[in-house]
Amino acid sequence: MNLKRVVVTGLGALTPLGNSVNDYWNGLIQGVSGAGLITRFDASKFKTQFACEVKDFDPLTILDRKEARKLDLFSQFGLASAIQAVEESGIVTAKNFNPDRVGVIWGSGIGGLRTFIDETSAYATGDGTPRFNPFFIPKMIVDIAAGHISMRYGLRGPNYATVSACASSTNAIIDSLMLIRLGKADVIVTGGSEAAVNEAGIGGFNAMHALSERNDSPKTASRPFDKDRDGFVLGEGSGAIILEELEHALARGATIYAELVGGGMSADAHHLTAPHPEGLGALNVMKNVLDDAGMKPEEIDYINVHGTSTPLGDISEVKAISGVFGDHAFNLNISSTKSMTGHLLGAAGVIEAIASVLAVKNDMVPPTINHFTDDDSFDKRYNFTFNKAQQRTVNAALSNTFGFGGHNASVIFRKFK
């Protein structure tokens, strides 16, 4: 079967580094940390009292007050980034726009956690009378963000959510790629959103000993590949990518950022939360994405790694990179943008995919900040792009995301030719 080619024609971002794609990218290149003490609730009694929060977001810039009350924060975030991407792409005003052929596939690992906390807490502290908000369920369910995006623009193509923990939005991107390749849609608005900086989110991850507890220095807490890394920093936000069939994009004169040439998936089949110690799932997913793209390891210039800043996770991922890329691993630029954004859980994949697209477009690799002490577990020949962005030709970038439960997903973006 002759598979169709798929290109990126629009981007949107709402992140701890800024509420637009330009602000996000500039923050990455400048090595800015989005971390700070938590403002969304009183975290003084929690082991971790900081996170990477979205700043200065006002849902009333995209929704009226009545409608805003019907959306959990994760859906508000998602709608905001999707609006940016759709409007930048010009897809809904194009002459060849057919709403029946435009879909929305959106990822979130948790969905409306804030809504769930508020509604169940009100019931638990009340007199036992069940007084639940009629929008409780529609605000909470993970698929609802995709629904809101489709209703905003009347998009009647494929519409659903992907849920695979921290790989959720990468799986959404891969599903979108597959459907467009097969001719099931012309355009798909894809990405993900997450809003888990709240009592349950911080408390739950603290109970797992997953988060950094460096409360005295939040901005330096996310330290991927550093000897003294002690866990990830929770982030929040959203990202959106417009994926479009190549001929459809060319017919309307769309601006093309890059081509999405491959998607790979695998499972660790090992542990609820810990990575495979030898990085077997990560190794397999990178082999799979290279195979899907029809590319050799030597054709990759940059890997945006999962790189969460956990003691075990960083080691297993580098083992996997070594197993796939051999000596070429030392020619790669490797970086973890989570050192700046924190870990956006289900939205991590898409904002890191956006960073990869922009690295290809701009021939610039964002850094891994907060490197202070070498870890002897890593060969010193690896280029982790520590502390400063690096200019280089980036013909192709690979982006990894790995989720609790052993879900692995990777994508490759390449310069459009």
> Which of the residues are catalytic?
166, 306, 343
C-beta of residue 304 within 8 angstroms of C-beta of residue 400: yes
C-beta of residue 240 within 8 angstroms of C-beta of residue 189: yes
- Residue 153's CB: how many other CB atoms inside 10 A? 18
Which segments within 168-257 are labelled E, that is strand?
187-194, 237-245
Beta-bridge partner residues of 414? 259, 396
* 219-238 residues labelled b (16+ CB within 10 A) or e (exposed): bbbbbbbbeebbbbbbbbbb
What's the token pair of residue 21?
């794609």
Beta-bridge partner residues of 409? 265, 401
d(CA 79, CA 249): 23
Residues in the chain: 417
- Using alpha carbons, select from 384, 402, 397 the residue that is nearest to residue 348: 402
C-beta of residue 359 within 8 angstroms of C-beta of residue 310: no
C-beta of residue 57 within 8 angstroms of C-beta of residue 80: yes
d(CA 282, CA 328): 17
Determine the residue type at 57.
Answer: F
Beta-bridge partner residues of 401? 409
- Residue 143: DSSP 8-state: T
